[in-house]
Copies of this chain bind each other. A is one copy, B any other.
Amino acid sequence: MNDFRDPSGGGASPIARLVDAFHRLPGIGPKIAQRLAYHVLRAPEEEARDLAEALMEVKRSVVLCARCQNVTAENPCRICSDKGRERTIICVVEEPLDVVAIERTGGFHGLYHVLHGVISPADGVGPEDLKIAELLARIRDVDRDVTEVIVATNPNLEGEATSMYLGRLLRPLGIRVTRLARGLPAGADLEYADDVTLGRALEFRQEV
């Protein structure tokens, strides 16, 4: 993305710096970074200012909710302080975006807890690196009515390991620990389903 350097005036040109800054974002390659920078050049100044201010504002004002550890500008967050939510059930997710995804289904009305990762020995991530102590503390001190924890980690090796770990940890406290159903995705075609998915759909077959 240094291609902009010559035409625009040397190694430290403002355009090259903007291209570099866009390029550092995940999934933004050098070509897209160039296109974004060029778009900003042509766009109204207020569009650039909106983005610049939103960037600084997010870093200044967004914290982790003291209860659920989700990102929030209010502490506790809107969901934790919403009197209308069921307070007997906590859905544990890996990342804040998973909360967004589950909220979108409209099918869950309890509380959340964001782990900010999964147990992954290969990456050197153990339970102590996640917000698991915070989950225990909150069940013990704040959300004492919780009777069920749904572990909504991703259906992969790390997600399964994390859900098993949480199961062993929480069941002795008298809490029911469940996980998201495994099976065929909506609209799937048996013929093209992968073996693991189809195998699990058989294993976890449900009553009609």
Number of copies: 2
User: What sequence of 0s and 1s flags, for each residue 49-69 of chain A, a beta carbon within 8 Å of any chain B beta carbon?
Assistant: 111111111111110000000
CB nearest to A76 among chain B residues? B9
Question: Residue A25 at the B interface, CB < 8 A?
Answer: yes
Question: Residue A70 at the B interface, CB < 8 A?
Answer: yes
CB nearest to A47 among chain B residues? B24
- Contact, CB under 8 Å: A77 / B18: no
CB nearest to A3 among chain B residues? B100
Cβ 8 A contact of A9, one of B28, B50, B57, B74: B74
| A10 proximity list for chain B (CB < 8 A) | 74, 78
| A28 proximity list for chain B (CB < 8 A) | 36
- Contact, CB under 8 Å: B48 / A58: yes
Which stretch (A91-99, A130-138, A156-164, A191-199) binds chain B? Answer: A91-99
A99 to chain B, nearest CB (A): 5
Question: Residue A27 at the B interface, CB < 8 A?
Answer: yes
Which stretch (A37-45, A172-180, A182-190) binds chain B? Answer: A37-45
Give the residues from 123 to 162 in chain A that come closer than 8 angstroms, CB to CB, to chain B.
none
A40 to chain B, nearest CB (A): 6
A115 to chain B, nearest CB (A): 13
Given contacts A26-B35, A71-B41, A95-B38, contact A7 B103 (CB under 8 A): yes
- Contact, CB under 8 Å: B54 / A21: yes
**Which of A14, A17, A47, A112 has most chain B Cβ within 10 Å?**
A14
- Contact, CB under 8 Å: B48 / A59: yes
How far, in angstroms, from A57 to B35 measured CA to CA in the complex? 17
Cβ 8 A contact of A39, one of B26, B32, B51, B100: B26
Contacts from A to B (Cβ < 8 Å): 3-4, 6-10, 13-15, 17-18, 20-22, 24-28, 32, 34-41, 45, 47-62, 70-74, 77-79, 95-97, 99-100, 103-104, 112
